[in-house]
Chain A
């Protein structure tokens, strides 16, 4: 640490020397910004020199340098989750100042949902980026007491879901697999526990969540719609602590602390559900049901010096879901029960090398594995259907900050994919035939460069260029189809086999990214953005929401990469000392090679995916408005989104068309969404939140006619997604009782009481069509969470 002080002082002196040649009276104030309680350095603290409106940001290790002509200044330090701090300095020489910032938990004023620096939405360059701190996520009334990262995202403008309890989320007209979900840099291929009800991120270890839905920085790529970056907090390097909670669905336990003080620290947190007992109380036909999950997050941080930080993150998540029939299996095999289990295993080794105050190099080795398994136990028909993805990546990012006006970033990334589509293994006495679909293998390579350039005090641009490519490699067998027919098993004209390691197909291209901010006055700015994103890996499914066992597929000779171009424009306005924020954004997005499935597609065991899917055009546009109150006892926001998404699948061949080649709404097309959250915090130990959500129902396909065949009325469907389920709305409520943080106690605990769906609305989960002469209606509505759902959670920290 001393060495770094010396180095940085030297660096400062050097710059000063240089500066002094130009302007004899420039001096620097430097030092570290630390957490007042733990002493941990804080990265990304905004430092504003009030008198001259100049801004600085602390580096990864909390180090800052403020260079100004000699004089008296007031520095304002602000950061997510910390109380702003003002520091008056008299700059006559090089100044060392260590700044301690206090947690804002004691404050009554709280920024809800986006706990960024107060004016960040107006000042930052990127458009369409939302950040949530875990504290603001905790204020949102939880479902069954489970604080949920993905569920909280649904309150943000532009984020929707196809239904309550559906896995994944949809961002600005993108499908769920078009979101890159990163958990400390490692991609998560299935972000849901229990088939979609809860997300896989343990709230006890999450530091913050950033969703990039508009201007995705050039450092990110690989998915067409958005990037959800979930960061794990740094282990406490000062003291040991134990925390946990007991809830209706899951129980949590975590430990963290230093192994070697300030050098080596460790964090581990586990979460597990024990719900089987609930099914024991269930009707007999459900008693065989099992639904359990657990996840374990660990992080080790080693900081041999202030220059080097090495972290190792490990994450395991497992779900077991057993149904007492062959429903959902999609396999035409007789079974008395079906078990789904799926598992995510991630590991990230990251080395951050702080070369100097201008240069930082971050290198990571990332392993991510997702495995899904479907099995049936009956001896003669026993089988085990496995699928999985191996993602192995190495990437490095170099940041260069030559001065106040430029911040350059460049990086390289290489991913090695191995996709195992489906392998069916019979049990020892089973008659089921083995099936082993060919593995898909490819390298995804990317390089990018980006500059954040402060053109002048009013205009900043973030300009980036990324090049990405997918190299498919053998072993593989590639079919050739007759030219004058659709792609079907029957129209194969020849096949070509490639040896292991042979690169048999390449695709790739440039991905320009541009964001522009123009400050048009105090607290007002106009922003514009353009981005192109390429996606080479997709989940192919013919159901509205993907099952955990749905197949992943790499782009190849026939499946072209999905390319999304998005243009967005926004106006941002803060008033009353950033207490009130208002913004409006419009966007237009075009997706080339969007994927949908053919009518009657059978994807699970299809040898060639191209015979089951179709690719076409996607088009999405929308308007997002947000009004937020950040200060006072009452805080909250209202967000309204208008969004439309249409797909067009046309082809010369009728079987490769959807809805005869006409545009149709995507499964997740929900035109109107209104979300509102209000939090009342009269004292430091009590808070109350209300959350209201409204959205248009998702599209469904309704029968146009019935035919009587074999004594059964068979519904006749014509076009996909032409009708909608009824609109959705719901009110939630929660109360949190904490210990008075002003009374310093070592042990802290809190109680959270919440009610989901306060007015017990029977929202439609699905509509199904059955004719029953005894009934007056022709269809039925299934509602889940159709009653007010109370829950109680106890959290503790020692």
Chain B
């Protein structure tokens, strides 16, 4: 399951006021389809945490549900720093390139640059990005809030997670926040007995096992322009759902990013949340930090970043609320138990105990 989280829509509130007050409505609309020659899209970063680091290459597609984004395969990618270290990445899956687990390691104070040579022979380079270490998170906390579900009389219980952080004296600090949630699972596989009746049973995990849930579309960035040198407070990170009365385990990442990366993510956020209203800034092309070395005018999208990260855990106590959590999918174990199923490590599941896990 992927949780959607973005900041409140820029003018979403105004839109909902118009909707309510002025009997407005939102209907589907099919614009004419426009096309551009597919451009290269780059995403990836070097951090000061242990690798491997991943870079993904894709192509732009038509802006429609029918459009598709092709993977850019067979390219040669190199990351180098200003101390003369360089490493060529290996393509671990279509369009996904990785450094070795014991290879290049990001260090604060160094600059990192990505070079791409595509199969078609085009050469692209990123700017040399400076890696700065991230200031620690002062405090992470959760506040219970009972929110109305739009359009219904029902309410949803949950916890808003915030952090406070001390911004360094120097100005020009840029932040991005991300989080990872580890959900312990007892069943590692489901056996469907009969697809017609949906009869199934579950298999126990052989070891401790956690599902990993990340914020896949976090566009949560901020700068110290308004608070330089002071405490940046009440930065909303996510909302914890009331799915169980067990504590909710969360690792919150505070990332120190460059000014270019901040501008990039901020404009991406603006574009994704734009409602085209009269009070929305008109959208413009998002400029990344990657260029075709032979043709500076070729549009290349995405950003290659160098990021310092500091992490804090947060266990959100979910036992002190009224009522029971909404019904969750039932697990069915047969008796006597079936043989267990191994916990397979993947981007979405791990058998490695999370760093701050308390049994």
Contact = CB atoms under 8 A, between A and B. Distances in A.
A493 interface: no
B284 A431 contact: no
Contacts of A721: 282
Q: Kindly name the residue among B28, B268, B277 whose own CB sees the greatest number of chain A CB atoms within 10 A.
A: B277
B324 interface: no
A787 B22 CA distance: 8
Interface stretch (B112-120, B184-192, B216-224): B216-224
Contact of A702 (B26, B34, B217): B34
Contact of B28 (A283, A325, A381, A776): A776
Interface in B8-52: 8-36, 38-39, 41, 43
A700 B282 CA distance: 8
B226 interface: yes
Nearest to B18: A784
Interface string A345-387: 0000000000000000000000000000000001011010000
A601 B270 CA distance: 12
Nearest to A337: B13
A195 B19 CA distance: 15
B319 interface: no
A326 B221 CA distance: 15
B235 interface: yes
B226 A787 contact: no
A788 B284 CA distance: 36
Nearest to B274: A768
A748 interface: no
B278 interface: yes
A775 B33 CA distance: 16
A431 B230 contact: yes
A542 B279 CA distance: 9
Contacts of B8: 325-327
Contacts of A544: 277-280, 282
B36 A712 contact: no
A276 B127 CA distance: 52
Interface in A325-340: 325-328, 331-334
Contacts of A433: 226-228, 230
B234 A378 contact: yes
A714 B269 CA distance: 9
B133 interface: no
A457 interface: no
A383 B43 CA distance: 36
Contacts of B16: 283, 285-286
Contact of B283 (A326, A708, A715): A715
A780 B226 contact: no
Q: Kindly name the residue among A165, A326, A327 whose own CB sees the greatest number of chain B CB atoms within 10 A.
A: A327
Interface in B239-297: 263, 267-268, 271-272, 274-287
B151 interface: yes
Interface stretch (A88-96, A183-191, A759-767): A759-767
A705 interface: yes
A781 B235 CA distance: 32
Given A433-B227, A547-B279, A771-B64, A780 B284 contact: no
B309 to A, nearest CB: 16
Nearest to B303: A709
A332 B280 contact: no
A267 to B, nearest CB: 32
A705 B18 CA distance: 29
B204 interface: no
Nearest to B31: A779
A403 interface: no
A285 B150 contact: yes
B308 interface: no
Interface stretch (B54-62, B325-333, B349-357): B54-62
Nearest to B62: A705
B65 interface: yes
B168 interface: no
A328 B31 CA distance: 26
Contacts of A195: 14, 279
B196 interface: no
B101 interface: no
A11 interface: no
A669 B271 CA distance: 23
A163 B278 contact: yes
A28 B33 CA distance: 75
Q: At the interface, is chain A mostly helix, strand, loop or mixed?
A: loop
A771 B65 contact: yes
Given A706-B60, A785-B23, A767 B276 contact: yes
B282 A720 contact: yes
A334 B233 contact: yes
A787 B286 CA distance: 37
A380 B65 contact: no
Given A543-B279, A712-B268, A718-B285, A706 B24 contact: no
Given A165-B22, A711-B2, A781-B27, A545 B278 contact: yes
A679 B351 CA distance: 78
Q: Kindly name the residue among B12, B151, B274 whose own CB sees the greatest number of chain A CB atoms within 10 A.
A: B274
A547 to B, nearest CB: 6
A782 interface: yes
A245 B200 CA distance: 70
Contacts of A279: 21
Contact of B234 (A285, A323, A334, A710): A334
A156 interface: no
Contact of B22 (A601, A723, A777, A785): A785
Contacts of B43: 709-710
Contacts of A714: 268, 271-272, 286, 301
A416 to B, nearest CB: 31
Interface in A682-717: 700-717
A316 B260 CA distance: 45
Interface in B296-338: 299, 301-303
Nearest to B171: A433
B337 to A, nearest CB: 37
Contacts of B231: 380, 431
A432 B226 contact: yes
Contacts of A781: 26-29
A3 interface: no
A325 B13 contact: yes
Contact of B65 (A545, A600, A773): A773
Q: Kindly name the residue among A327, A599, A705, A710 whose own CB sees the greatest number of chain B CB atoms within 10 A.
A: A705
A305 interface: no
Contacts of B11: 327-328
B348 interface: no
A782 B20 contact: no
Interface string A503-543: 00000000000000000000000000000000000000011
A767 B18 contact: no
A100 to B, nearest CB: 47
A714 B63 CA distance: 9
A7 interface: no
A451 B286 CA distance: 55
Given A707-B60, A718-B285, A323 B17 contact: yes
B236 interface: yes
B232 interface: yes
B263 A786 contact: no
Closest A-B pairs by Cβ, 5 of them: A284-B148, A711-B216, A599-B284, A545-B278, A781-B29
28 contacts: A165-B18, A283-B20, A283-B150, A291-B17, A291-B21, A327-B10, A332-B225, A433-B226, A433-B227, A542-B281, A544-B280, A599-B284, A702-B63, A703-B63, A703-B283, A709-B43, A711-B216, A767-B276, A768-B274, A772-B65, A778-B33, A779-B28, A779-B31, A780-B29, A781-B27, A781-B28, A782-B25, A782-B275
Given A327-B8, A710-B268, A778-B33, 5 more contacts: A195-B279, A333-B227, A705-B67, A709-B41, A779-B31
